[in-house]
Amino acid sequence: MGEASSSGQVQRSHQPGSALPVAILGPTGYTGLELIEIILRHPMLRVAYLGSAREKQPRIDVEFPRLAGRLKGAGGEIAPMCEPLDHDAIARRCALAFLCLPHEAAMEHTPKLLDRGVKVVDLSAAYRIKDQATYEKAYGHHHTDAKNLEHAVYGLTEVARAQVKTARLCANPGCYPTAAGLSLLPLLKAGVIEPDGIIVNAASGVSGAGREPKPNTTLVEAGENYSAYGIGVHRHQPEINQTLHMHGDGPGLAPMGKHEALFVPHLLPIERGILETIYATPTSGKVDTARVMEVLTHAYAGEPFVMVRAESPTLHDVQRTNAVHINARVVSGRVVVVAAIDNLVKGASGQAVQNANVMLGLPEVMGLA
Amino acid sequence: MGEASSSGQVQRSHQPGSALPVAILGPTGYTGLELIEIILRHPMLRVAYLGSAREKQPRIDVEFPRLAGRLKGAGGEIAPMCEPLDHDAIARRCALAFLCLPHEAAMEHTPKLLDRGVKVVDLSAAYRIKDQATYEKAYGHHHTDAKNLEHAVYGLTEVARAQVKTARLCANPGCYPTAAGLSLLPLLKAGVIEPDGIIVNAASGVSGAGREPKPNTTLVEAGENYSAYGIGVHRHQPEINQTLHMHGDGPGLAPMGKHEALFVPHLLPIERGILETIYATPTSGKVDTARVMEVLTHAYAGEPFVMVRAESPTLHDVQRTNAVHINARVVSGRVVVVAAIDNLVKGASGQAVQNANVMLGLPEVMGLA
Amino acid sequence: MGEASSSGQVQRSHQPGSALPVAILGPTGYTGLELIEIILRHPMLRVAYLGSAREKQPRIDVEFPRLAGRLKGAGGEIAPMCEPLDHDAIARRCALAFLCLPHEAAMEHTPKLLDRGVKVVDLSAAYRIKDQATYEKAYGHHHTDAKNLEHAVYGLTEVARAQVKTARLCANPGCYPTAAGLSLLPLLKAGVIEPDGIIVNAASGVSGAGREPKPNTTLVEAGENYSAYGIGVHRHQPEINQTLHMHGDGPGLAPMGKHEALFVPHLLPIERGILETIYATPTSGKVDTARVMEVLTHAYAGEPFVMVRAESPTLHDVQRTNAVHINARVVSGRVVVVAAIDNLVKGASGQAVQNANVMLGLPEVMGLA
Amino acid sequence: MGEASSSGQVQRSHQPGSALPVAILGPTGYTGLELIEIILRHPMLRVAYLGSAREKQPRIDVEFPRLAGRLKGAGGEIAPMCEPLDHDAIARRCALAFLCLPHEAAMEHTPKLLDRGVKVVDLSAAYRIKDQATYEKAYGHHHTDAKNLEHAVYGLTEVARAQVKTARLCANPGCYPTAAGLSLLPLLKAGVIEPDGIIVNAASGVSGAGREPKPNTTLVEAGENYSAYGIGVHRHQPEINQTLHMHGDGPGLAPMGKHEALFVPHLLPIERGILETIYATPTSGKVDTARVMEVLTHAYAGEPFVMVRAESPTLHDVQRTNAVHINARVVSGRVVVVAAIDNLVKGASGQAVQNANVMLGLPEVMGLA
């Protein structure tokens, strides 16, 4: 998984006022709030633009009262009023924009921002799937920006660090694919598991469904409950399968294979967190727990956010951190990997800041420790 | 609180097929589901009509999959398809109708059902407030059925049993007023607490807000959260104050007094249950814990659903039962009463069945034990 | 899965006082409470003995205040005081005993009860595993009652109904194996899935861990959390594998096979409910969703408690019922079965009453509808 | 409420390695974990000593796996192994110690640390109650360090800032008293509420009960539940009443009055957060909502952590922040104040760091923004 170069070291001495200005477009959802809270602690980023598509511009500390009195951050102060999505104004004030917009809106605004020299970290799915037809089938709408899709970098940071460094457009990975990709890629590359027959049994907190109320996300319906959904047809299934073919900082993405991993997500009665219990077939009888742990430990040596652990992790171990905790073992003839992340942090806004740090030449862990 | 006459005794021997047919109008909300589940266990009631105002009639075991395979009840089987609100058909088939409709719809359908000889237990607020102007101010719409409002009986069963017995229209009490009324009325009647300065600090599960998703009832917003709402302006405040003037099976409701009790509800991050912590001023320094407990114990001796307890109750003690658990004490110069109910049972559908039992001449506890 | 013969029909007319007396030994745990609440609604069973091993005998409605005032059941009244475990007294008063005791205690008391002619439904694991060595390895203690182990009937009712009917000792199945067995057995028998490579990915509410507080079961630790545990080494793994070899009401249990199913349980942040997401390999490319659904639908036609559904179930669909909801499909080349039960009902006390009904010649669904 | 002087301004430029070394004694409880997580983000504090009384010294990132890989903080790195409580070693390495120990242990270690020149912020209740007899009655044990009790400063920072500045021993306030004191003191001082008849109806998350499992804190018992406890007899009742007599940075604490506020806490089914709904009598009919809000707004102008809000707060508004959100109104003749804090942050570890910042001459908000 390469080297986190200088990123293991937090560079803390800097000049006040020197923080880099960034925009958050679509800040009124859960990933927007999470980005704001992360950046308030980031000594070298400053939110200089909150852009909303709403008719009536919201005030962010009214939208989220927990921000009241807390908009003075380490990198500078955030003006609470949201503004319209004015590309010129954004370009004048910001070096980079985080897009927390719906997929279609992301495809509309991204080219205009890139044309004006603004780097983009897109938290929607718009630029994640390289194959346009696959994207359109999964998401049910036309892809309107094939041009930028081509050079977009899929920002699974630990795998694609060198590419992210030079990216102008970073497609921030989906929450489920982040955990699946980081768990499985080293094992696939080391040849200890078969690419065939992989099962990604996953469970996520309700924040993954967004802030909009839905009949199945009320406390009465989702609380004290648990269920599978989108069995084998979830939009993250093709993204996971694409991720399993990443070559990392090598020659780029390999063509989609015929070995489809099966993805079965479940809805947990909690706010946040994803736990994936992944089943794979060892390539030989010699692959044991020691071997799979060795592969993972070696792959993530020096990685600041990936903890390879001897015990199976819980969601409490990773909530509100950018960490990925991974455990693996061989039991009853199968490899079982358990990986935990916070879907709003490493699965969204945390990884987005990690990618922005890399794109802007800042220490990778800055603001995320 | 009178005598539960024969109600302490469950009459269980009866002829198969002899169950009384009832209708549930508006069965797709939480009180509808709760009614169905209660009546499925009731040996002498049978749901003979599920009436919905929806354009496309729902099938109740699709609407609530937990009913699948469970529609064969103790009193007979329920046909799963809902039907339109046809008053003649209801009258042909049912002796009594439970209305789980919006307030305005309840005022529309109640007179037509009463005219056709169908008894009504209305779970909406339409007939609860005797003073029409107070109702209209609290609910923000015109009361369209003043005629029936006059003779409607407010069905706080333990207090108004004799009136409920002869009622054709029973206004089933609100959840919060049920707990407040049962807690305070014996103390007020015994003269041990002042009518002035009562504070009803209450907390309810989210099911009290209904089944419709709302921005503040999603698991992400309501979970791991707690807040006060409608402080002093909640619709149940006038109902509570009216309830505190009930004379029970005496001469009827007294005129509203000037001593307004203050009601402050809170939203709990749970599905169901109401706990009220009630503060009142003792009428003299001689009123101590022993005295208030004695008043309550005496008032509820023989009542099957009211437990006066030496310890403060928890919601687990009453959830999914028709019980009210009450504890009282005098501390730091104030009377503190803690009362717990299940808002969907004693606070809605359970008390509705209790009232229907009384109205139909069945043992009061039948189906509720 | 045989015929539920007369069990689809609730026999309701009976003589008051004619209910059969049963004992609950170890009633102060969650399965004990659940049994009491079920039997209170059962018209033909009456709890005539609450037996506790505690030094100081508890009063059951103090132990569980939610029982206060609710001990008058459909089949008769329960005396609230627990009594010592006196086998003679139990035999004098009861036809059958439900054992909610620790495994070792179950092995101690069962022979003494059987010797005195009391039928036993044992909710512990003591008599579930036919192979004594397997039991002893899984549970870490010696099996002290091999004699009765031999004739004990594993009470997965839908599969072993005829055997249960004549059983004197019924080993009530574990919660996880109940859902796994009912899901997989028809598919295995119909030859549509391979016996090799089965994965049972399961999740359970915290009540499965018992009532004793543990460091990982506090609300702070278990709430808003989720984790895998006992991966491949859980005690239910051998029980599941034994269950997958049941021949039902045929010639008895087949010898344990070499095809070990892998069982991976998870801890859900809820009180109750088990959802199992089960992965298996279809035996041929012709096995599709229609075929697996047909097999299940046919197997459970007429079964009152097993619902084969077109949609994947949620835990809300089954909580506080004795139902099993099963959905199956073929996707990405694998059979995916999702099954839901309430671990305290069909996974424990509900199935125990179902078995007791069969053993006592009562309608199988009585008290459980 | 004074001036937060330079504290509104985060001083960020500093030399690496210049962070002040502090000790955390008793770091394996919830306040210990919270302190560690706060200090990891604090640019000028560094945990140089983790002191545990356990026989076998725990490794903090094994005790709390969420700390794995996260011990490199803004102020420096934390050595993961805990050490014995060696006062000399602590004095050699640390300028200040946070005590997260039991009350008795705090009284044992505090004098020894003070004698060695180590400043102490004590998170136990040992030094909170000025009147020794009151303390001993509430806590049931002898106070063994009357000498230091005398000069200990009760660290309700906003009220006692000047005293905290020169304190060597700071008694960090209890969670409930923090919210009650900050809500009521300005209203009492402004003379808009009567000191008599105050009711503090409060609700707290389960983390307030500590990390030790208890029968009533398991997820099964505490989840989906709510109850009052310690009605009028909770240990925080005398602390609240003492707090209501604070003169702030004036001449010191006034003698305890005869006007006892009544405190009624409740247990919420959540991890963290305290909401207090406080009832008081206005001193005249002229005291209206505008007046009480004006008093609070004026009192807390410029205070970085106290938000006086027009709406009633929710716990989500304050969880994981050091903020206090306060709303007040006059309704039905009573003043109703609603205040929210995070019991582990402003109610414990956050306020402890706030006090330490003041005691060490650092900006008051440092590490807490």
Q: Which residues of C touch D30 (CB under 8 A)?
A: 220
Residue A224 identity: E
Active site residues of A: 175
**D224/C218 Cβ within 8 A:** no
Which residues, given as ranges, of chain D have pLDDT below 70?
1-17, 247-259
pLDDT at residue D266 in the model: 98
Residue A339 identity: A
How does pLDDT run across C151-182, given as a tens digit for each residue?
999 999 999 999 999 999 999 999 999 999 99
List the single residue in C with minimal CA-CA distance to B44.
C12
> For residue A163, how many other CB atoms are within 10 A of its CB?
20
Give me the mean pLDDT over the C211-216 stretch: 96
Q: Phi and psi of C216, rounded to 5°?
A: -95, 5
Give me the mean pLDDT over the C144-154 stretch: 97
Residues 6+ apart with CB under 8 A from B251: none
List the single residue in C with minimal CA-CA distance to A271.
C224
CA D42 to chain centroid, in Å, comes to 18
Residue of C82, C94, C170, C175 marked catalytic: C175
**What's the rounded Cα separation, in Å, for the pair B14 and C12?**
9
List the single residue in C with minimal CA-CA distance to A225.
C315
d(CA C349, nearest CA chain A) in Å: 20
Q: What percent of chain C has pLDDT over 70?
A: 92
Q: Which of B225, B270, B336 sits opposite D316 (nearest CB)?
A: B225
Cα dihedral D327, D332, D335, D337, rounded to 10, equals -30
Q: Which of C30, C215, C223 sits opposite D219 (nearest CB)?
A: C223
Nearest-CA neighbor of C30 among C348, C354, C353, C355? C348
Domain range list for chain D: 5-173+347-359, 176-343
Q: Which regions of chain B does DSSP assign to beta strands (E)?
A: 20-25, 45-51, 72-73, 76-77, 96-99, 119-122, 153-154, 169-171, 199-204, 227-228, 262-267, 274-280, 306-308, 324-331, 334-341
How does pLDDT run across D290-329, given as a tens digit for each residue?
999 999 999 999 999 999 999 999 999 999 999 999 999 9
List the single residue in D with minimal CA-CA distance to C209.
D220
List the single residue in C with minimal CA-CA distance to A206.
C224
Tell which of D206, D219, D224, D316 to mutate to test the C interface (max C CBs under 10 Å): D219
Angle at B199 between CA B198 and CA B201, to 5 degrees: 155
**D207/C270 Cβ within 8 A:** no
> For residue B230, how many other CB atoms are within 10 A of its CB?
15
Nearest-CA neighbor of B152 among B345, B359, B5, B353? B359
Q: Which residues of B touch D273 (CB under 8 A)?
A: 224-226
The tens-digit pLDDT sequence of chain A (369 residues) is 444 444 333 333 345 568 999 999 999 999 999 999 999 999 999 999 999 999 999 999 999 999 999 999 999 999 999 999 999 999 999 999 999 999 999 999 999 999 999 999 999 999 999 999 999 999 999 999 999 999 999 999 999 999 999 999 999 999 999 999 999 999 999 999 999 999 999 999 999 999 999 999 999 999 999 999 999 899 999 999 999 988 655 444 444 445 589 999 999 999 999 999 999 999 999 999 999 999 999 999 999 999 999 999 999 999 999 999 999 999 999 999 999 999 999 999 999 999 999 999 999 999 998
Residues of D with CB under 8 A from a CB of C: 30, 205-207, 211, 213-215, 217-220, 222-224, 269-271
pTM assigned to the model: 0.95
Active site residues of B: 175
Decide: residue D69, CB within 10 A, 0-12 exposed, 13-18 middle, 19+ buried. buried
Q: Which helix (H) or strand (E) holds D330?
A: strand D324-331
What is the β-pairing status of strands B72-73 and B76-77?
antiparallel
CA atoms within 13 A on the CB side of D331: 19
Sign of the dihedral defined by the CA atoms of residues A180, A185, A188, A193, in that order: negative
d(CA D14, nearest CA chain A) in Å: 7
Tell which of A183, A194, A200, A201 to mutate to test the C interface (max C CBs under 10 Å): A201
pLDDT of B2 > 70? The answer is: no
Nearest-CA neighbor of D47 among D85, D90, D87, D88? D90
pLDDT at residue D191 in the model: 95
Q: Which helix (H) or strand (E) holds B109?
A: helix B103-115
Tell which of D39, D70, D206 to mutate to test the A interface (max A CBs under 10 Å): D70
**A229/C271 Cβ within 8 A:** no
List the single residue in B with minimal CA-CA distance to D241.
B332
Q: Which of A221, A225, A270 sits opposite C226 (nearest CB)?
A: A270
List the single residue in D with minimal CA-CA distance to C218.
D218
**C321/B70 Cβ within 8 A:** yes
Nearest-CA neighbor of C309 among C321, C323, C297? C297
**What is the pLDDT confidence band of residue C275, given thresholds at 50, 70 and 90?**
very high
Widest Cα–Cα separation across chain A: 63
**What is the pLDDT confidence band of residue C246, given thresholds at 50, 70 and 90?**
confident
Q: Which residues of B touch C63 (CB under 8 A)?
A: none
Give me the mean pLDDT over the C11-20 stretch: 60
Q: Are B45 and B20 in contact (CB under 8 A)?
A: yes
Say what the ipTM of the complex is.
0.93
Angle at A31 between CA A30 and CA A34, to 5 degrees: 90
Q: Are B366 and B10 in contact (CB under 8 A)?
A: yes
**A30/B219 Cβ within 8 A:** no
Residue of D82, D100, D170, D175 marked catalytic: D175
Residue B347 DSSP class: I
User: Helix (H, G, I), strand (E, B), or coil: what is residue D14?
Assistant: coil
Options 3.40.50.720, 3.30.360.10, 3.90.10.10, 3.40.50.360; CATH of C176-342? 3.30.360.10
Q: Which residues pair with D329 in a beta bridge?
A: D336
Tell which of B219, B224, B274 to mutate to test the D interface (max D CBs under 10 Å): B224
List the single residue in C with minimal CA-CA distance to A199.
C279
pLDDT at residue B1 in the model: 45
**What's the rounded Cα separation, in Å, for the pair A294 and A328?**
10
pLDDT at residue A258 in the model: 56
List the single residue in A with minimal CA-CA distance to D42.
A41
Tell which of C200, C204, C225 to mutate to test the A interface (max A CBs under 10 Å): C225
Query: CB contacts < 8 Å between C and D, how many?
Result: 62
Q: Which of A206, A218, A271 sits opposite B213 (nearest CB)?
A: A218
pLDDT at residue C39 in the model: 98
Q: Which of B272, B313, B331 sits opposite D232 (nearest CB)?
A: B331
Question: CATH for D5-173+347-359?
Answer: 3.40.50.720
**What's the rounded Cα separation, in Å, for the pair A190 and A184?**
10
Q: Which of C72, C321, C323 sits opposite B369 (nearest CB)?
A: C72
**What's the rounded Cα separation, in Å, for the pair C111 and D359?**
70
d(CA D84, nearest CA chain A) in Å: 26
Q: Which helix (H) or strand (E) holds D280?
A: strand D274-280
Q: Which residues of D touch B223 (CB under 8 A)?
A: 270
pLDDT of C75 > 90? The answer is: yes
Query: CB contacts < 8 Å between B and D, how many?
Result: 133
pLDDT at residue D13 in the model: 39
User: Helix (H, G, I), strand (E, B), or coil: what is residue D77?
Assistant: strand
**What's the rounded Cα separation, in Å, for the pair A6 and A13?**
15
**What's the rounded Cα separation, in Å, for the pair A329 and A69?**
47
**What's the rounded Cα separation, in Å, for the pair A238 and A253?**
14
**What's the rounded Cα separation, in Å, for the pair A33 and A26?**
10
Sign of the dihedral defined by the CA atoms of residues D156, D157, D161, D163, in that order: positive
d(CA B226, nearest CA chain C) in Å: 16
Residues 6+ apart with CB under 8 A from D311: A65, D327
**What is the rounded average pLDDT for all residues in chain C?**
93
**D231/B336 Cβ within 8 A:** yes
**What is the rounded average pLDDT for all residues in chain B?**
93
Q: Which of B41, B66, B69 sits opposite C41 (nearest CB)?
A: B41
**C313/A227 Cβ within 8 A:** yes
Q: Which residues of B touch C73 (CB under 8 A)?
A: 369
Residue A232 DSSP class: T
d(CA A16, nearest CA chain B) in Å: 36
Instruction: Tell me the Ramachandran region of residue D367: left when phi exceeds 0, alpha when psi lies from -120 to 50, beta otherwise.
Output: left
Residue written as tokens 């919905």?
B52
Q: Are B87 and B113 in contact (CB under 8 A)?
A: yes
pLDDT of B68 > 70? The answer is: yes
**What's the rounded Cα separation, in Å, for the pair B65 and B321?**
22
Give me the mean pLDDT over the B135-155 stretch: 97
Query: CB contacts < 8 Å between A and D, how many?
Result: 79
pLDDT at residue B254 in the model: 47
Across A25-34, b (16+ Cβ under 10 Å) vs e yields bbbbbbbbbb
**A218/B218 Cβ within 8 A:** yes
**D16/A66 Cβ within 8 A:** no
d(CA B180, nearest CA chain C) in Å: 20
Query: A: neighbours with 3+ CB pairs under 8 Å?
Result: B, C, D
Options 2.60.120.700, 3.40.50.300, 1.40.20.10, 3.30.360.10; CATH of B176-343? 3.30.360.10
**A264/C269 Cβ within 8 A:** no
